[in-house]
A and B are shown apart, each in its own frame.
Chain A
Amino acid sequence: MSAILELFLEFTLLSFVAFGGATALLPEMHRVVVDNHHWLDDATFTHLYAIAQAAPGPNVLVVTLIGWQVAGLAGALAATLAMCLPMSIAIYLLIDHWESFSGRRWQRAVQIGVAPLAVGLIFSGATLIGQSAGLGWVAWGLVAATVLANLRTKLHPLWFIGLGAIAGLLGLV
């Protein structure tokens, strides 16, 4: 099977389990792309995540970067489409039915039940990015400082990203 087709299939599957958005998918993307297919190594995966963070646009675009690294322009487009298209079609077809269910007990149960799981996924993604980047103690200090500063202040995330870039350039992490 060609890499592009494989990419398309893998990311289509991923799109259907992306509860909590693309960010929650990071651990599973890492498992598929790095551990199962060996398309990328740990360091490259982390770099792509960092680039997607620094770039404008929705988080889902980390997928575009992964596709690019695996199979060039066609790979980038295939991965992006696979991630966005199937679920978009499903939503287009189902949204009217879904809205007629709103307020039902099972629907509210799903809505309540999925939230703590999504939190767990994002937490796992953060851990995994830290591990894959091979961060040392100083760098984990930077991670902790970012968490605190982000929770305590209303600074735009881009400030943190800029500071992170500088800390990296200075060889602190």
Chain B
Amino acid sequence: MGFSAVGLSGFGGVLPFARRMLVEERRWMSPEEFNAQLGLCQFLPGPNVVNLAVIVGKRYQGLAGAIVAPVGLLAGPVAVVLLLALLYDAYGSLPLVQSMLRGIAAVGAGLLFAMAWRMGMAIKDKLAFLPFTVMVVAAIAWLRWPMLWVMLSGLALSGGLAFWRLGRR
């Protein structure tokens, strides 16, 4: 049951750490296996790392592993975050803390933009598929439509296009 320890070493940073631990340190998966499983987790809904923990846990230890792995992954970070929540309750209203958090949020927004950019550039056939990205941004960020309907109709359109193109080749 080395799994809770594994979960805890994933603490401190997410996917890159999980990869290092699973593939490089413990050699529980080959890099190809890791990519395949991660790809699956990334397009299934739900938190990616948690999904990954469930899948890996199940594969090696059955039900017990599938429970222990995500719990181990989350327990430490949840405790830290709750501690921060207490601090925020105590000091969050101080102007200095507020401006510090605003600075972090600005940088955080920048990191998100960069991540979106990287993911966008990794898409094959950008010309065909990036218009769907623009549609999602318009619907969600500008029109503030509910995400469920945007995603369902978007997936019908963009998945439909992908299906058609796969059939043509």
Contacts and interface: CB of A to CB of B under 8 A. Distances in A.
Main DSSP-derived SS at the A contact region: helix
A80 B78 contact: yes
B98 interface: yes
Interface in A120-146: 120-130, 132-135, 139-140, 142-146
A163 B110 CA distance: 12
A139 B100 CA distance: 12
A114 B106 contact: no
B24 to A, nearest CB: 18
Given A17-B151, A112-B129, A133-B105, A123 B81 contact: no
A65 B70 CA distance: 18
B107 A120 contact: no
A74 B53 CA distance: 24
B103 A166 contact: yes
Contact of B116 (A102, A109, A119): A119
Contacts of B45: 15-19, 87
B123 A119 contact: yes
Contact of A113 (B46, B48, B101, B159): B159
Interface residues of A, number: 103
A163 B86 CA distance: 24
B99 A113 contact: no
A119 B166 CA distance: 21
A115 interface: yes
A47 B92 contact: yes
A84 B70 contact: yes
Given A150-B111, A167-B106, A117 B132 contact: yes
Contacts of B80: 55-57
Contact of B104 (A17, A119, A130, A161): A161
A50 interface: yes
A95 B44 CA distance: 11
Interface of B: 11-14, 36, 39-40, 42-51, 54-55, 58, 63, 66, 70, 73-74, 76-78, 80-82, 84-85, 88, 92, 96, 98-120, 122-124, 129-137, 140-141, 144, 146-148, 151, 154-155, 157-163, 166-167
Given A25-B147, A109-B160, 14 more contacts: A47-B98, A57-B11, A61-B74, A111-B39, A112-B159, A113-B159, A114-B158, A120-B116, A121-B140, A129-B105, A130-B105, A146-B110, A161-B104, A163-B107
8 contacts: A21-B42, A57-B14, A60-B50, A119-B116, A119-B133, A129-B112, A145-B110, A146-B110
